[in-house]
Structures are given as structure tokens and as C-alpha cells.
Amino acid sequence: MRHKSSSRFLLYSIQNPSTMPLLASVLGSLPLMLLSALVSGAAIESRQSAVAQVVKLTSIENVAVRSNGIVLATNMNSANLYAVDPVAKTSTTAIAVTGASGLSGIGEIAPDVFAVIGGKGIYKVDFTGTSPKSSLVKTITQASNLNGLAVFNNDTVLVADAGKGNVYKFTISTGEYAVALTDPTMAPSGGIPFGIDGIKYKDGVVWYTNIFKNSFYKVPVDASAKATGAVVPLWTNLMGDDLCFGPNGKIYVATNSGNSLVEVDPAVGKPTSVGSVTGSTSCAFGRTEKDKNVAYVGAGQGVFAVTVKI
């Protein structure tokens, strides 16, 4: 929470100037020990794996992996989309996304084509040419604070609005969007409202976290991304940020101020810590034979590699 929440608070306060005094109050009155106490009640089994820092970068928000093995990393305070080479352990700016002041959720919608959240806009970043190109698809004007992004199909993404506590279904080819999901479990809480955070979709189920409610949920949906059943909590006592699917059928969740990456068996829902990463925000698995069991974790001090035992 200490780095990511601070950047979120700053971004929210810039967009909503009336909250600036509250921002100072919140950040000034909550020491790290108290922030960590928010997650201290969670019972987590531990099965530690090898953890290594790949590169040092400031306040990584989200990560995705290209088919060539390069890790893409976003930062809410920068329009630069970073390219991280996990073999050479170097980072460069792949592209500066024109029109965006900062980037958050990212997902691959077609081979080497990514949807990226930039403020209230959804951008397309295309790596299929000789050099990457970015373009604004459309701005979700009524959005409050877009953060998490899930690929629904090769032309549709689900976008979590942490400020309003809902999920938009967004079509890349047309720019059409509408609220597909809303539920009290997605609602923001706290002095500076921030609710639903990480979101992913797979096999008819949407999985999402609510960061300041220390909660992780799943809900079944139909082909239009509308809920077809009740929201089911997996836990309500551990901070959850963004998440990713592993090659072993498990789900992995970055716990932010929980300073870990946890593994979750979808059938059980109990978190098991597999790596200690300070300020972990997001994760994505490698896509080559050599790193398919490696989770690349975005965090306050850069990108880390957690080798998962599968």
C-alpha cells in the first residue's frame, strides 16, 4: 500500500482537488506499521519460492508479457510503457503513450496488440509493426478512477472503475462501452474512495479484488459479461491488488502492503504465500519454455521474478 496507494491517492487528489487536505491527513497519519496491520489478520500458509529482482523501476502498477518474453510494465504517474528484458535484466521505454498522463491496467487482446488504461482513456498499443504504435480508442467520460483491466475476448476488455465500484465492458474495434457489472463488493471505501482493483476473466468467471476491503471475489458471467449468479468471496481478510493465472490452474494475487505473492487454488480459495515481494502490485507469467513457471511481479521498486513450484 505504501507506494501504490500513495500514487493512487495523489492521482485521485489531482483529479479531485478538494481532497488534497484529506490526502495529506491520510498519508500523514497512517504509519507503515498501521498500514501493515490492515492485513495482519489473514491466515496465510507459506511455501516460499526463489525471488529475484529483474530491474529497478519506480512504482510499477501493472505488468503483461509479450510472446517474445519481454515484460511490459506500467506506472500510474507516467505515460511510458516500459519494456523489461528478464534475461538481460534491462529496461527501456517501449513507447510513450500520447495523451495519457499515466498508465494502469494492461492486457493482450490480439497477438502482440495490447489494451492499456491511461487515465479515463482506453488505448491500443500495437507491437506488430517495425516500431510500436499507440492510439486512443475512446475515453470513458463518466469514469471516476479506472484501474484494473481483463481481456474478455479478442475485441473486448473489462475495465474496473475503482472510484465508482463497477465494471465496464469495452469493445476495442468500436469504442462502445457500457456498465456490465456492479455490486456492493466492488464499492469504494475509505477517506479517498477506491474499491474494485484487480480484475481477470477466464472460462465464464470474473475474478476481482477490492483493495481497501481486503477482499477477493468471483462471479459467473454470460457472453455479455452480465452476472449469472451470486458473487462469492474467497477471502475478506487479506489485501489483494492485481492478479494473474498460472500455468498450473492456480490464481496468483499480489498483496501490495502484504508484501507477497500468494497462490490460490480456485476450488479452495485459501491463499498460500509463494514469494516475498515488498509492495507487490501485479503479476504475469512468462511465456517461453524457460520461464513459463516464473511469475513476473510488479512492485514499488521494480519488477521481480518469482519462480513458482508447480
127-174 pLDDT per residue, tens:
999 999 999 999 999 999 999 999 999 999 999 999 999 999 999 999
Task: Give the pLDDT score at 7.
Answer: 53
- Is the pLDDT assigned to residue 56 strictly greater than 60? yes
pLDDT at 307 over 90: yes
Reduced to 3 states (helix: H, G, I; strand: E, B; else coil), residue 251 is: strand
- Lowest model confidence (mean pLDDT) among 25-29, 215-219, 237-241: 25-29
Terminal-to-terminal C-alpha distance of the chain: 29
Q: Which three cell numbers stand for residue 127?
A: 507491437
C-alpha cell at 91: 529496461
pLDDT at res. 86: 98
Tell me how far apart the alpha carbons of residues 112 and 283 are, in angstroms, rounded to a whole number.
18
Which amino acid makes up residue 262?
V
Indicate whether 219 pLDDT > 50: yes
In three-state form (DSSP H/G/I as H, E/B as E, the rest C), the secondary structure along 48-108 is CCEEEEEECCCCCCEEEECCCCCEEEEECCEEEEEEEECCCCEEEEEEECCCCCCCCCEEE
- Phi-psi region at 32: left, alpha or beta (left = phi > 0; alpha = psi -120 to 50): alpha
pLDDT confidence bin for 43, thresholds 50/70/90: low
Q: Mean pLDDT across the stretch 93-107?
A: 97
199, pLDDT greater than 60: yes
* Pairwise CA distance, residues 31 & 260, whole Å: 19
149 - beta bridge partners?
159
Mean pLDDT of 78-99: 98
| Contact assessment for residue 81 and residue 74, using Cβ atoms and an 8 Å cutoff | yes
Our CA dihedral for 194, 196, 198, 200, rounded to 10 degrees, sits at: -160
* Residue labelled with grid coordinates 506506472: 75
In this predicted structure, the answer to whether residue 272 has a pLDDT above a threshold of 70 is yes
For residues 241 and 127, give the distance between their C-alpha atoms in angstroms, rounded to a whole number: 27
CB 239 within 8 A of CB 258: yes
Q: Which domains does the chain have, with CATH numbers?
A: 4-307 (2.120.10.30)
Which is more confidently placed, 199 or 11?
Answer: 199
Mean pLDDT of 229-247: 96
Q: How far apart are CA 212 and CA 189, in angstroms?
A: 7
Question: Nearest CA to 210 among 167, 250, 247?
Answer: 167
Asked whether the predicted pLDDT for residue 28 surpasses 50, the reply is: no
The answer to which of 44-58, 108-122, 248-262 has the lowest mean pLDDT is 44-58
Q: Per-residue confidence at 104, pLDDT binned at 50, 70, 90?
A: very high
Quick check: 161 and 143 in contact, CB under 8 A? Answer: yes
Cβ(98)–Cβ(104) below 8 Å = no
What is the average pLDDT value for the chain, to the nearest integer? 88
- Residue 97, pLDDT > 60, answer yes
Name the percent of the chain lying above pLDDT 90: 81
| Lowest-confidence region among 26-35, 44-53, 230-239, 285-294 | 26-35
Res. 9: pLDDT tops 60: no
